[in-house]
A = this chain, B = another copy of it.
Amino acid sequence: MMHITRRESFNAAHRLYRPEWDDEKNMEVFGKCSNPNWHGHNYELFVTVKGEVDPGTGFVLNLKKLSQIIKSRVIEKIDHKNMNLEVEFMTGRLASTENLAIGIWEQLRQPLEELGASLHCVKVVETENNFVEYYGS
């Protein structure tokens, strides 16, 4: 089994909080990540696709196509944006790294399937010390 991975990156602002909680409760659960004036990160995104190698091209999937799909479906929608206010695929979700990985998975799974490619993992690196990996539900 062959896995291929493409890295892309984006910068975004976000805030962790629940609107039904007051500031004190939000601070207790989310700490400084609940700052009402936002903070942000350089996110690294690793998208892994698995499949057989096409004998005609030597590729599982053309990385240029993979990069284009990630850019049009994810990066253009989130780069230099506010994740809580402006990113349609995060609407109604707490802006945690876990939910971000789920949102990105949902953006990518079907367009990749239409190319005959199977999405294996979405990895989102928030800082050099923290990352999540989502393998689908």
Q: Which residues of A contact B (CB under 8 A)?
A: 1-9, 11-14, 16, 18, 29-33, 35, 37-42, 48, 53, 56-60, 62-64, 79-82, 85-86, 93-99, 101-102, 127-137
Contact = CB atoms under 8 A, between A and B. Distances in A.
Can you tell how many copies of this chain the complex includes?
6
B60 A98 contact: yes
Contacts of A101: 2
A129 B6 contact: yes
A96 B61 CA distance: 11
A64 B11 contact: no
A64 B127 CA distance: 14
Contacts of A102: 2, 53
A96 B13 contact: no
